[in-house]
Amino acid sequence: GAVVSQHPSWVICKSGTSVKIECRSLDFQATTMFWYRQFPKQSLMLMATSNEGSKATYEQGVEKDKFLINHASLTLSTLTVTSAHPEDSSFYICSAREQGWARAKNIQYFGAGTRLSVL
Amino acid sequence: LAKTTQPISMDSYEGQEVNITCSHNNIATNDYITWYQQFPSQGPRFIIQGYKTKVTNEVASLFIPADRKSSTLSLPRVSLSDTAVYYCLVGDYKYYGGSQGNLIFGKGTKLSVKP
């Protein structure tokens, strides 16, 4: 199956610093990538949709200036958490949708996730 | 997007067949039904997808009745490693250039497999 790599898998940072998370589709091209956040014992919450070469679309309640998304190529999207605070501590997961037949059925392939801990 | 309802949790024993049913009464004509599996501290993993009738792969089977208002994920002979949360998602896939095709995750079903 298609592989999505997410890096780093775990990051600890001080309050006020920025953290960048990378999401790469390793063996396919992804016009669209998605970013989710998951708190303990809860389901995934969609934060934003990232389209290659255009601005991301953010879900209601997600601050676009705080969660910067860049999708500069068909295989890479990045999420930058700016001026992180302890309440931003969470599990961040990206997914990528493959072009072609899988796109028609919206099969998304997920990265392993990034555990962010803000001190 | 069609709303889905599935049991919060299920228990099973190793070697048993597990059937998880998902209700999606408002499913639309263009909607596909997709199931994902998620282990703790990992991203979800695609299991199976179907539109109608039955779909089978090396991992699971998906049964969808004619009215498509529900679907059942069947896991044959589960093992301890199948303990995970299983999500049923229903979504439509229209494309207008940058259309989103978002996946909206519900609470999922937490399957616990015991020895």
Give the pLDDT band (50/70/90) at residue A105: low
Q: What angle do CA A49, A51, A52 make, to 5 degrees?
A: 150
Which residues of chain B fall short of a pLDDT of 50? 94-99
Q: Which of residues 87-106 of B touch A (CB under 8 A)?
A: 87, 91, 93, 95, 98, 100-106
Q: Mean of the pLDDT values across residues A24-49?
A: 90
Q: Is the per-residue pLDDT at A29 higher than 90?
A: no
The nearest alpha carbon in chain A to B41 belongs to A113
Q: Mean of the pLDDT values across residues A13-34?
A: 93
Q: Which of residues 56-85 of B touch A (CB under 8 A)?
A: none
Q: How many residues does chain A have?
A: 119
pLDDT, position A1: 67
Residues of chain A with C-beta less than 8 angstroms from the C-beta of B36: 110
What DSSP character marks residue A113? Answer: -
Minimal CA–CA distance to B107: which of B7, B2, B1? B7
Q: Is the per-residue pLDDT at A100 higher than 70?
A: no
pLDDT, position B98: 33
